[in-house]
Amino acid sequence: MRELEFDELEALAIGAGVLGTGGGNHPHLELMCAQAEYNRGHRISLIDPQELSDDARVAVVCIMGAPLVTKERLPEPIAICKAVRLMEAHCGKPFDAIMSIEIGGENAFFAMLVGMELGLPVVDADTMGRAFPEAQMASFAIRGLSVAPFAIADIRNNSVLIPEAENATRIERIGRKAVVELGSIAGTCAAPRSGREVKDHAILNSVGRALKIGNAVLAARRTGSNRVDAVLEAEKGALLFTGKVQDVSRRTTDGFVRGKAVLAGRDSFEGRLLEIDFQNEFSVARLDGRRIACVPDLITVLDEENAEAIGTEVLRYGQRVAVVALPADPIMTSAEGLPVVGPRAFGFDFDYTSFAEQLT
């Protein structure tokens, strides 16, 4: 267990943005909230999963909603705190630690803000190793652990509990509908996990992974070296494209942001086109019509200059960007993982091939 330094907060924001793969919202605002908490004397305690006792009770939390909506209506950690309290009341037992469902985007920070608010350490792990649009796209569900009970709360006086469900997809669908009804933003707390379950089935040390990416970008900014290269080196990634955003079609339906972006190539990609589909997160990239990367691998659009990740909800005409691919966690590309988070789970009619294979 260690306290995060003030300077690490910015690195975490950059890294979580990159791992958000276009979804999960860039945690600009949450970074400011966390910095304000630090200035008030609060600190984030990061605990390594291996330090958890086997019977520790871990609250797995997130803000659930459509990224575009969060631009008008800010999500608040207090909604998650209410969901955590509701789950404690339902189970009759308190939690020992907080963990984010996803390291990608603002949810990385919400776990931190909730940890500070409730005085609990935050586990250096998550269940996606990135951001995904749906709650069942998580390592615990892939490994067959029940996602129920599942608690949902908003900042007003509304809460919903799903005590049991046939499967994780059912929870995602019921929960999503409830969240839409609450204004497309709510805090959630999934089934309590034991320390043992976290150690066996979570994506371990993903907070550390985000920090590593962020620190590499910050170092490159200080030394004036290429920021995009810094991301690729930190994560064994590949450059898919550099270019300018030419067109974005986007709609918010059923609690998701869905659409497609078309990018016109620059530099070594001059004259070529990249198309990227997204459902909250980027899911498939096609170069001149040929598929070169797909879920669960991470496809991330970075500002060409400073390597800040650009979300699907703020992508717009004229942005100069670099598109990179980073490898998915092995749980996600396993035989159990692919039916849940591979291209078919997103409605595409083809099987997963890693970007490393597709680019060769």
Catalog residues that contact its own copies under the rule CB under 8 A: 86, 90, 156-166, 170, 173-174, 177-178, 180-182
What's the min distance (Å) between Cβ of 329 and its own copies? 29
What's the min distance (Å) between Cβ of 67 and its own copies? 21
- Contact (Cβ atoms closer than 8 angstroms) between residue 30 and residue 110: yes
What's the min distance (Å) between Cβ of 161 and its own copies? 4
DSSP tag of 213? H
Amino acid at position 74, single letter: L
DSSP tag of 41? T
Q: Which is nearer to its own copies, 55 or 166 (CB)?
A: 166
Residue that the structure tokens 């008008």 belong to: 72
- Contact (Cβ atoms closer than 8 angstroms) between residue 239 and residue 324: yes
Q: Which is nearer to its own copies, 170 or 344 (CB)?
A: 170
Q: Which is nearer to its own copies, 177 or 316 (CB)?
A: 177
What's the min distance (Å) between Cβ of 50 and its own copies? 34
Q: Which is nearer to its own copies, 173 or 291 (CB)?
A: 173
Q: Is 42 helix (H, G, I), strand (E, B) or coil?
A: coil
End-to-end CA distance of the chain: 42
Q: Which is nearer to its own copies, 173 or 260 (CB)?
A: 173
What's the min distance (Å) between Cβ of 172 and its own copies? 10
Structure tokens at 144: 């067959």
Rounded-to-integer distance, Cα 47 and Cα 258, Å = 35
Q: Which is nearer to its own copies, 82 or 209 (CB)?
A: 82
Q: Is 218 helix (H, G, I), strand (E, B) or coil?
A: helix
Which residues, in sequence order, are CB contacts of 300 under 8 Å at separation 6+? 18, 19, 20, 21, 22, 231, 282, 309, 323, 324, 325, 326
Q: Which is nearer to its own copies, 112 or 165 (CB)?
A: 165
Structure tokens at 151: 């608690």
- Contact (Cβ atoms closer than 8 angstroms) between residue 212 and residue 15: yes
What's the min distance (Å) between Cβ of 168 and its own copies? 12
Q: Tell me the HSE value of 270 on the side-chain side, using a 13 A CA sphere.
A: 2
What's the min distance (Å) between Cβ of 187 and its own copies? 14
